[in-house]
Amino acid sequence: MIDFELEPQVIERLKMYHAVAENLMRPISREYDEREHEDPDQFFQTMWQAQALADAAPARNDRDGAERKNGPRPRNLLTCITTEEMCWGDAGLFLATPNSGLGGAAVMAAGTPEQKARFLKRFSEGEPKWGAMAITEPQCGSDSAAIQTTAVRDGDHWVINGTKIFCTAGQRAAEKSDGFVVVWASVDKNAGRAGIKSFVVERGTPGMEVTRVEKKLGIRVSDTAMIIFDNCRVPLDHLLGSAEVRRDGGFKDAMATFDATRPIVAAMAIGVGRAALDYVRGFLREQKVPIRYGISPRRLTAVERDFMEMEVQLQAARLLTWRAAWMLDAGKRNNLEASMAKAKAGLVVTQITQKAVELLGPLGYSRSLLLEKWMRDAKINDIFEGTQQINMLIVARRILGYGSKELN
């Protein structure tokens, strides 16, 4: 049975995250949207220290009482819940916050226990650090199986060559502190999808160079980088998982990363959508415009119908997202549910933020409010981690039982 009842310590932790979102993120949200790619250093330091304290709390609980009554600690569900809270504050700042990010998710999905301990341990101590994942290429967008980047074994190293684009947090991960980038590359072109593997390339590795940082519509404080790998040499044990090319491995192992990250992106979308919804609710209250629940739909005003529809859609996206995260925590296969959550949330947040701007008219469109920024920030959730169309295609394939050859 799925149980989404939050424990008291989780509720207290959420209050802390909400305070961070309201008091640390919202006040600088507009400033760092304008100062694209600049580092909010004070925010970084504060968040790094807060994260260290938050991470220590579960460890103490585990020593005292260890196991929850209903099973293992729901790590992925908790991540989604806290992600929503942070993105209620600011999605761009959330993405820029020092953490292992998508790179860490890839290590967790495809790495061996030894690799997880080695590459992720650093994120629990010391100075702020970043992780990123490099998948998309100039000739390879949504079809990740068409990757052209190669990794060739040369003695006790892999030599990586290729170009990656649209790497979230790519610049910070490649250039700051002890960050790393997880690169998808083919070790055997003749093996097709099975030949695709993930490699950890640590910050400062010769042959890895950030050549461009994109100027974007939204999430502007978060860097999105082009990275070129030119005879970039990494040790053999930086390949995540096994080097063996198997029909049931390779690309499937790498794609397991998305089973964990798509619910997180969906939670990001929900946080932005909730921010817009909360603002509209407060605005209507100030204008003494009631939202009358429990009466016949025929008696509702257009504003009431619109607002209630926004609420319903946001809640539906949240429940899909929590289910996908819960399944991962329970050790269940969740690739269908992860794509459903991502597709639903990406579409919903776009609709909610656009409707919020529309309901407030010229005021919503102006830069005096954050509504227009939330509308800009929202759209990326419908694009990265698999576009709306790709996720809908995955959902259709899973439900109908088709493969890529039967349904594309």
> Are the C-beta atoms of 233 and 178 separated by less than 8 Å?
no
Q: Is 114 known to be catalytic? A: no
Check 304, 358, 385, 406 and give the catalytic one.
Answer: 385
Q: Which residues of 369-400 are buried (b: 16+ CB within 10 A; e: fewer)?
A: bbbbbbbbbbbbbbebbbbbebbbbbbebeee
Tokens 């990656």: give the residue: 164
Amino acid (one-letter) located at 48 = W
Which pair of tokens denotes residue 259? 């089973």
Q: Which residues of 224-252 are buried (b: 16+ CB within 10 A; e: fewer)?
A: bbbbbbeebbbeeebbbbeeebeeebbbe
Task: List, by residue number, the catalytic residues.
Answer: 385
